[in-house]
C-alpha cells in the first residue's frame, strides 16, 4: 500500500465512520421518536379510558338521581349553611312548625329563605308594626288606635281599598267586644291573609306548578328593570331542580345584553336558552323557534323572557299579543301563564303599572320582586285587592335561590313579626 493509497483509505474510513455515526444517530433519533409516539399513544389511550370512566360515573349519578328523584343542578351553586341558633332560626322554625312541618322535614334551605323573607320585610315592618305595637302597648284597641293603624297601612303601600277593608272589619269587631293589643295583631294578620288569599282561591290553583305531560308556557312581563330576567333565571333553577324539563326563550330582543344575561342564568341551572342574536330579531319568531324546540325535546316548562321597553313605535302590549297568538296557534293545548313581574320598591307606582298591564295583557298572576330592603312590601296586598291578581312567587334578593312560591301565611307572619 502506497502512502497515497493509505491516505485515501484513511479518508474513506473517516467518511465511512462519519456516515455510520450519522446513520446510528439517525437510528437513535428514530427510536426515540418511535418511543415518544408510543408513549403519546399510551397517554391518549389512558385519557380516553379516563374520560369514558368519568362519563360512566356521570351517567350512573344521573340514573341514580332520576331513580331517586334527586335534582341535578350545577355544582357551582352554593348550598346555604346552618347559621347560629338565634332569633332568626327560632322564628323560621316556628313558622314551619305552625304549618304542620315535622322536625325531620325541616331543611336549611327553608330556614334560610324564611330568614331572608323576614329580614327583607324588616323595613316595611319598621314603619308599620313596630310603630303600631308601640302605640298599642298592652292596652285594648280604641277608635284612635284604629286611626293610627289606618295611617300606617296606607304608608306601607297596602292601598286604600285593602286598608278600608281591614279597618272596617276591625271597627266592627271593636263594637262587639274589647280587643287587646295581641288579639288585635292576630285579627289583623287574619284579615290581611284573607285579602291576599282571595285571588288565589278564585283562580282555583293554590300553588302554581307546571302540569306534567303538557307544555306549560310562562311569560314574564312587566316594565323595564323590575326583575323579569333575574326572576326567570331563578324560576329556571327552581324548575330544573324539581325535575321539570325546562327551556328558556330569550324573547327580549330589544336589549342587546339580554340574551347574554339569560345564558348566564341558563348555565347556572343547566337550562338551554333559545335565542336569535341578529339585531332587531322578532320576539314572536324567537318564541316560534322555542316552541318547536320545546316540542321536540318534550319540555315541561318553557319560560319566556320579554322586553320591558321597546322602540317607541312598537307597543309593548302589541308585542305581547303577537307572542300569545303564536303560542295559541302552535300549541293550542299548552297551559299559558302571563305573570306580571312587579318591583315592590316601586310601591304605588308598581300598582299603577299592574293596573295598566292587567287591562290589556290578560294577566294570570303576579310575581313580587325586590322585597329585600324596601319599606313598601305592603304593595303586595294592593295587588291582590285592587288588581285581583294571585301572587305566585316572591323574590327577596339577587341570588338564584332568592325566589320562592308565594305562601300567604309566611308572608303575613314575616310582615307582622313582632321583633
Ligand atoms: N335586591 C334585589 N334585586 C333584584 C331582585 N330581582 C332583581 N333584582 C335586580 O334588579 C335589576 C334588574 O333586574 P333584571 O332582571 O335585569 O330586570 P328586567 O325586568 O329583566 O329588566 P329589563 O330587561 O331591562 O326590562 C338587576 O340588578 C337585578 O339584580 C330582588 O329580588 N332583589
Ligand atoms: Mg330583562
CB of 369 sitting under 6 A from ligand 1: yes
- For residue 125, how far is its CA from the centre of ligand 2 (angstroms)? 29
Q: Write out pLDDT tens, residues 176-185.
A: 988 887 888 8
Ligand 1 pocket mutation pick from 117, 219, 230, 266 by most atoms within 8 angstroms of CB: 230
Round to whole Å and give the CA distance between 334 and 58.
33
* Index of the ligand 1 atom closest to the CA of residue 252: 23
Round to whole Å and give the CA distance between 393 and 207.
9
Whether the CB-CB separation of 402 and 268 falls below 8 Å is answered with no
pLDDT of residue 329: 96
- For residue 36, how far is its CA from the centre of ligand 2 (angstroms)? 54
* Three-class DSSP category at 400: coil
CB of 308 sitting under 6 A from ligand 1: yes
pLDDT of residue 310: 61
CB of 225 sitting under 6 A from ligand 1: yes
If you ran DSSP here, which 8-state letter would residue 141 be given? Answer: P
Dihedral angle of Cα 330, 335, 341, 342, to the nearest 10 degrees: 140
- For residue 352, how far is its CA from the centre of ligand 2 (angstroms)? 20
* Index of the ligand 1 atom closest to the CA of residue 369: 31
- For residue 222, how far is its CA from the centre of ligand 2 (angstroms)? 9
If you ran DSSP here, which 8-state letter would residue 105 be given? Answer: G
Q: Write out pLDDT tens, residues 121-174.
A: 888 887 777 777 777 667 788 888 888 889 888 888 889 999 999 999 999 998
Q: Which of 205, 213, 380, 220 has its CA nearest to residue 304?
A: 220
- For residue 224, how far is its CA from the centre of ligand 1 (angstroms)? 9
Q: Which of 314, 327, 248, 254 has its CA nearest to residue 284?
A: 327
Q: Residue whose CA is closest, atom 21 of ligand 1?
A: 225
- For residue 370, how far is its CA from the centre of ligand 1 (angstroms)? 8
Q: Which ligand sits closest to the CA of 397?
A: 1
Q: Which ligand sits closest to the CA of 227?
A: 1
* Three-class DSSP category at 394: strand
pLDDT of residue 207: 94
Burial 336-356 (b: 16+ CB within 10 A, else e): bbbbbbbbbbbbeebbebbee
- For residue 252, how far is its CA from the centre of ligand 1 (angstroms)? 14
Round to whole Å and give the CA distance between 105 and 111.
11
Round to whole Å and give the CA distance between 82 and 68.
25
CB of 401 sitting under 6 A from ligand 1: no
Q: Which of 345, 403, 370 has its CA nearest to residue 112?
A: 403
pLDDT of residue 358: 86
pTM of this structure: 0.80
pLDDT of residue 71: 47
Dihedral angle of Cα 335, 394, 161, 348, to the nearest 10 degrees: -110
Q: Write out pLDDT tens, residues 20-36.
A: 778 788 888 988 988 88
Round to whole Å and give the CA distance between 94 and 414.
12
pLDDT of residue 24: 81
pLDDT of residue 67: 56
Q: Which ligand sits closest to the CA of 374?
A: 1
Q: Which of 192, 120, 117, 118 has its CA nearest to residue 158?
A: 192
* Index of the ligand 1 atom closest to the CA of residue 230: 15
Round to whole Å and give the CA distance between 382 and 414.
17
Round to whole Å and give the CA distance between 282 and 323.
10
pLDDT of residue 101: 83
* Index of the ligand 1 atom closest to the CA of residue 261: 16
Which segments in the chain show pLDDT lower than 50?
69-72, 74-75
* Index of the ligand 1 atom closest to the CA of residue 223: 25
* Index of the ligand 1 atom closest to the CA of residue 225: 21
- For residue 251, how far is its CA from the centre of ligand 2 (angstroms)? 9
Whether the CB-CB separation of 304 and 290 falls below 8 Å is answered with yes
Q: Which of 414, 416, 413, 371 has its CA nearest to residue 396?
A: 371
pLDDT of residue 77: 67
pLDDT of residue 1: 55
CB of 377 sitting under 6 A from ligand 1: no
Q: Residue whose CA is closest, atom 13 of ligand 1?
A: 227
CB of 346 sitting under 6 A from ligand 1: no
CB of 228 sitting under 6 A from ligand 1: yes
Residue owning grid cell 315592618: 125
CB of 396 sitting under 6 A from ligand 1: yes
pLDDT of residue 48: 81
Amino acid at each position: 500500500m502506497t502512502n497515497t493509497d493509505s491516505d485515501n483509505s484513511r479518508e474513506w474510513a473517516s467518511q465511512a465512520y462519519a456516515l455510520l455515526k450519522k446513520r446510528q444517530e439517525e437510528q437513535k433519533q428514530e427510536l426515540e421518536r418511535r418511543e415518544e409516539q408510543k408513549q403519546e399513544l399510551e397517554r391518549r389511550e389512558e385519557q380516553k379510558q379516563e374520560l369514558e370512566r368519568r362519563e360512566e360515573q356521570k351517567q350512573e349519578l344521573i340514573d341514580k338521581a332520576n331513580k331517586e328523584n334527586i335534582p341535578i343542578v350545577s355544582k357551582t351553586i352554593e348550598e346555604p349553611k346552618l347559621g347560629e341558633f338565634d332569633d332568626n332560626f327560632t322564628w323560621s322554625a316556628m313558622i314551619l312548625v305552625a304549618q304542620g312541618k315535622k322536625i325531620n322535614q325541616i331543611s336549611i334551605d327553608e330556614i334560610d329563605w324564611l330568614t331572608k323573607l323576614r329580614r327583607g320585610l324588616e323595613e316595611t315592618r319598621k314603619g308599620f308594626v313596630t310603630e303600631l305595637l308601640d302605640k298599642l302597648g298592652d292596652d285594648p284597641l280604641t277608635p284612635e288606635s284604629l286611626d293610627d293603624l289606618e295611617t300606617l297601612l296606607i304608608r306601607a303601600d297596602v292601598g286604600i281599598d285593602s286598608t278600608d277593608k281591614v279597618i272596617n272589619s276591625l271597627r266592627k269587631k271593636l263594637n262587639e267586644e274589647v280587643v287587646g293589643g295581641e288579639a288585635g295583631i292576630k285579627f289583623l294578620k287574619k284579615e290581611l291573609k284573607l285579602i291576599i288569599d282571595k285571588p288565589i282561591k278564585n283562580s282555583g290553583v293554590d300553588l302554581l306548578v307546571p302540569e306534567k305531560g303538557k307544555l306549560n308556557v310562562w311569560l314574564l312581563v312587566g316594565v323595564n328593570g323590575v326583575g323579569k330576567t333575574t326572576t326567570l333565571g331563578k324560576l329556571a333553577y327552581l324548575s330544573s331542580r324539581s325535575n321539570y324539563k325546562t327551556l328558556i326563550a330569550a324573547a327580549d330582543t330589544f336589549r342587546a345584553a339580554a340574551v347574554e344575561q339569560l345564558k348566564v342564568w341558563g348555565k347556572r341551572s343547566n337550562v338551554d336558552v333559545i335565542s336569535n342574536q341578529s339585531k332587531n330579531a322578532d320576539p314572536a319568531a324567537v318564541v316560534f323557534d322555542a316552541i318547536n324546540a320545546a316540542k321536540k325535546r318534550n319540555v315541561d316548562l318553557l319560560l319566556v323572557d320579554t322586553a320591558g321597553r321597546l322602540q317607541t313605535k312598537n307597543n309593548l302590549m302589541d308585542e305581547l299579543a303577537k307572542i300569545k297568538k303564536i303560542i295559541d296557534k302552535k300549541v293550542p293545548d299548552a297551559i299559558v301563564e302571563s305573570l306580571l313581574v312587579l318591583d315592590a320598591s316601586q310601591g304605588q307606582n308598581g300598582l299603577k303599572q299592574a293596573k295598566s298591564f292587567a287591562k290589556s295583557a290578560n294577566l294570570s298572576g303576579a310575581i313580587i320582586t325586590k322585597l329585600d330592603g324596601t319599606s313598601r312590601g305592603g304593595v303586595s296586598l294592593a295587588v291582590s285587592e285592587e288588581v285581583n291578581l294571585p301572587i305566585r312567587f316572591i323574590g327577596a334578593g339577587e341570588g338564584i335561590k332568592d325566589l320562592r312560591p308565594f305562601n300567604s301565611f309566611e308572608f303575613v307572619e314575616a310582615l307582622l313579626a313582632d321583633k
